[in-house]
Amino acid sequence: AESLDMEKAEFTLDSVRDSLIRQEDTIVFCLIERAKYPLNSPAYNQSYVSFPGFSGSSLFEYIVKQTETLQATAGRYENPEEHAFFPDNLPRSLVPPYNYSQVLHPAANSININKMIWDMYCSQLLPLFVAEGDDGNYASTASSDIDCLQALSRRIHYGKFVAEVKFRDAPHDYEPAIRAKDRDALMKLLTFEKVEEMVRRRVEKKAMVFGQEVNLDNDNSKGMYKVDPSVVSRLYVEWVMPLTKLVQVEYLLRRLD
């Protein structure tokens, strides 16, 4: 019971937001690492290669599926913060169960918007922050892509925890909108425009600080950044925050089931 209380004490809107802030660092660093390589389009092309048992998969999809299979056996998806991109037919975890704190409503398990995250990343985001070209580093590129996708997915699905804490803080505000299945009302209740503006400005600054050229003479990167800071702020404004809010709405709609 004591440890339960401790978990409860740490589960506040501030603690949840602290996690989102730390995850910004991860996302910016992952983008910087991916930007080391050019687009390398053959990695995403379904006709470039064919692996036995993976018909119709690109090299990238093949690596993601194989990675998820391996990580599922190692217990990655037992953590309620993790979501697979190809959750169907994943093998069971082979590691002893860890007692993750169960703060979410069980309906949380049915929410996985990784398909949207995948499409957004591959077709819209990638071309915005990597150079055109092909240097043949397809497998390394795919590893960097997985890191980006997993970091984005974790952040966006963290909306489940944000929504849970908001619901617990003000159940009477949320219940009528949940019962009425009123998405717009829920969206209004969970939106804090001032916070979003701070997030936008902070991730832009992180892209400048983390992505600057560091040298001993004159530590001024002269406006040259490894990933364009305005692209990072756009990523957050157009995709990361709206999708995090979508997850919150989806979660709240099921919160009284």
Ligand X SMILES: O=C(O)C(=O)C[C@]1(C(=O)O)C=C[C@@H](O)C=C1
Which residues in this chain contact ligand X in the complex, by CB under 6 A? 17, 20, 162, 190-192, 195-196, 199, 241, 244-245
232 neighbors 28 (Cβ within 8 angstroms): yes
DSSP class per residue in 105-137: -GGGGG---HHHHHHIIIIIIHHHHS-S---S-
At 12, phi and psi to the nearest 5? -130, 170
Smallest distance, Å, CB 156 to ligand X?
Answer: 8
Nearer to ligand X, 23 or 141 (CB): 23
The nearest distance, CB 84 to ligand X, in angstroms, is: 22
Minimum distance from residue 176 beta carbon to ligand X (Å): 20
Find residue 212's DSSP bridge partners. 225
Of 157 and 226, which has the nearer Cβ to ligand X? 157
CB of 130 to ligand X, least distance (A): 24
The DSSP symbol for 212 reads B
- Measured CA to CA in angstroms, residue 199 lies from 33, 59, 80 at distances of 21, 34, 24
Contact 206, 240 (CB under 8 A): no
Looking at beta carbons only, is 220 or 230 nearer to ligand X? 230
Q: Which is nearer to ligand X, 22 or 95 (CB)?
A: 22
| Contact criterion met (CB below 8 Å) for 150 and 67 | no
- Residue among 83 and 245 whose Cβ is closer to ligand X: 245
181 touches 247 (CB < 8 A): no
Instruction: Provide the minimum distance between the beta carbon of 17 and ligand X in the complex, in angstroms, as a whole number.
Output: 5
